[in-house]
Amino acid sequence: MQVSDVSIVQCDVCGNPKKETNHWLIALTRMDYEGIIFLPAEAVEEPRRDNVVYEDLCGQECAHKRLSAWLDDLKNIDFPSTKKSEAE
């Protein structure tokens, strides 16, 4: 068993190993961008960029879980630009 084999892709939500299926998705997030993008795994450009966080997801179910987690995080983010100090 090669535990150091980095070529094995695992789902970042449930830990499923990637097999020969084409239903995998990748969630992309960036430090400087308060959003999340879901793409089919085969649509993601290689090499991957340093300033983007890539999370491998084994399918729709885990994509939904990831989106829910992201939406939960969103409540905790303090967006200075959305605070409207202007009175009417």
Residue ranges in contact with Zn ion by CB under 5 A: 11, 13-14, 16, 58, 62
Between 10 and 32, name the residue whose CB sits nearer to Zn ion: 10
Residue with token string 């097999």 = 19
Distance in Å, CB of 81 to Zn ion, minimum: 34
Distance in Å, CB of 58 to Zn ion, minimum: 3
In this structure, are residues 55 and 26 in contact, taking their beta carbons and an 8 Å threshold?
yes
Between 10 and 33, name the residue whose CB sits nearer to Zn ion: 10
- Rounded to the nearest 5°, which phi and psi values hold at 75? -65, -25
Distance in Å, CB of 17 to Zn ion, minimum: 10
In this structure, are residues 16 and 24 in contact, taking their beta carbons and an 8 Å threshold?
no
Between 23 and 49, name the residue whose CB sits nearer to Zn ion: 23
Q: How far apart are CA 81 and CA 83, in angstroms?
A: 6
